[in-house]
Amino acid sequence: MKYRTIGTDPATRREVSVLALGAMLFGSRTDEKTSFAVLDRYVEEGGTFIDTSDNYAFWEDGGQGGQSEELLGRWRRSRGIGDEIVIATKLGARPLAPGTSYVDNAEGLSAKVIRESAERSRERLGVARLDLLYAHIEDHKVPLQETVEGFAELVAEGTVGLLGASNHAAWRLERARALATAAGLPSYEVLQYAHSHLRPRLDVPESLFPDGSLGHAGPDLLGYLREEPALTLVAYSPLLKGAYTHPDRLPTDFDHPGTPPRLQALTQVAKETGATLNQVVLSWQIGHPLPIIPLVGASSVTQLEENLAAVDLELTAEQRVRLDGAY
C-alpha cells in the first residue's frame, strides 16, 4: 500500500492509504458477513481510509440511514480497531423522516444539526472523535457563517478532526473557506466529488443532484484544487458503477463525442500494461499531479482485490500524456 497526508494542521492531519474504501451499502444491500470480509481484506492490504455517511443507505429500506455507520461500529468493536483506521463520515443529507428524501426534507447544515448529527455518528461508529467530517450537500437555507462556526466548534472541542465538503459549487467552497480564514477558524480541507477518466457533460440534468447542486468535479473545482495545495480530492464513483466493463451502465451524460477517444486511449494503455480498464483508471488517479484519492466500493472480496492491485500499477509518463490528452 502507499500513503499520503490529508490536512495541514499537525493536530488533525492524517496519513491515509491512497485508495479509500466506500462503505455506502455495508449493512444494507451488502450483508454483514460480506461487508466484514471486504473490510478485513482491505485492512490486511494496508488500507486505512474508509468512507461512510449518516444517511447511508436510507433509500434501501425507506428509512433515514445509519446502517453503514452502525455496521462499521460493530466491525471496529469486533476487530479491536482503533485510531489507526481513518473513518470519514458526512452529515447534512439525512432525511428528517422515514420515507422522505434529502431532496425535499434533508437535515441541513445548521449549527444545531451539525452538533446533534455528529454526536449520533460518533455513537454509531463507537468513536470519541470523527477523523473527517464532511458537509454532504449544500444548504442554502442556513447562512454559511453558521455552518462554518458549527463545524469549527466541534473541532475546537476535539470531537471532530478534519473538515470536508462534497457536492458544493466551487464558489460556495471558496466563500465558506474565506469566512473561516477571516475568523481564524478551521475549514474544509478535503473535498469529495464524483471524478473519473471519462468526463460527463455538465449542462444536462444527469450531471446534477435533484436539488441542482453539483456532484461532479468539473473544471471550476479542479482549477480550484490546482490553486489550493492544502486541499485533497476524494474521488467517488471513479469506476462509474461498473460502466468501464459494462458499457450499458454508462450514464447518459457521458454520451458525447469526447467519450470514445478517452475510452480508446484507456483501452490501449490497458493492453500495454496487462491491467484491467478499472485498474488503469485508478492508477491514473492515484498518480495524478493533483492530490486525488480514488474512493472505491466493493460488494465482494474479488472486486476489492482488483482495485487494490491498481496501487502497484505504474503508468509511464508517455501513457499519462495519452490518457490526459484524449478528447
The per-residue pLDDT for range 29-87, each reduced to its tens digit, is 999 999 999 999 999 999 999 999 999 999 999 999 999 999 999 999 999 999 999 99
Per-residue pLDDT averaged across 144-153, rounded?
98
CB-neighbour burial class of residue 133 (10 A; exposed 0-12, middle 13-18, buried 19+): buried
Asked if residues 254 and 263 have their Cβ atoms less than 8 Å apart, the reply is: no
For residue 70, the model assigns a pLDDT of 98
Angle, helices 317-325 vs 259-273, to 10°: value is 160
What pairing do the DSSP bridges indicate for beta strands 86-91 and 188-194? unpaired
Helix (H) / strand (E) containing 235: strand 232-236
Amino acid symbol at 323: L
pLDDT per position as a tens digit, 261-299: 999 999 999 999 999 999 999 999 999 999 999 999 999
Instruction: State the average pLDDT for the chain.
Output: 95
For residue 208, the model assigns a pLDDT of 59
User: Cα–Cα distance between 159 and 122 in angstroms, integer?
Assistant: 8
CB-neighbour burial class of residue 138 (10 A; exposed 0-12, middle 13-18, buried 19+): buried
Per-residue pLDDT averaged across 144-157, rounded?
98
For residue 204, the model assigns a pLDDT of 76
pLDDT per position as a tens digit, 172-229: 999 999 999 999 999 999 999 999 999 998 887 766 565 555 689 999 999 999 999 8
User: Cα–Cα distance between 112 and 123 in angstroms, integer?
Assistant: 17
For residue 215, the model assigns a pLDDT of 87
Confidence at 231, pLDDT banded by 50, 70, 90: very high
Amino acid symbol at 176: A
pLDDT per position as a tens digit, 311-322: 999 999 999 999
User: Cα–Cα distance between 126 and 280 in angstroms, integer?
Assistant: 36
For residue 202, the model assigns a pLDDT of 83
For residue 207, the model assigns a pLDDT of 63
What are the angstrom distances between the C-alpha of 296 and each of 139, 142, 188, 279, 322? Answer: 26, 32, 22, 11, 24
Q: Interior CA angle at 284 toward 35 and 315, to 5°?
A: 115
Q: Dmax over Cα atoms in the chain, in whole Å?
A: 54
β-strand partners of 294: 235
Of 92, 183, 80, 106, nearest in space to 134 by CA: 92
> What is the grid cell recorded at 273?
500494461
CB burial readout 228-247, b (16+ within 10 A) else e = eeebbbbbbbbbbeebbeee
Confidence at 104, pLDDT banded by 50, 70, 90: confident
CATH number of the domain located at residue range(s) 3-254+277-315 in this protein = 3.20.20.100
Per-residue pLDDT averaged across 88-110, rounded?
95
pLDDT per position as a tens digit, 299-313: 999 999 999 999 999
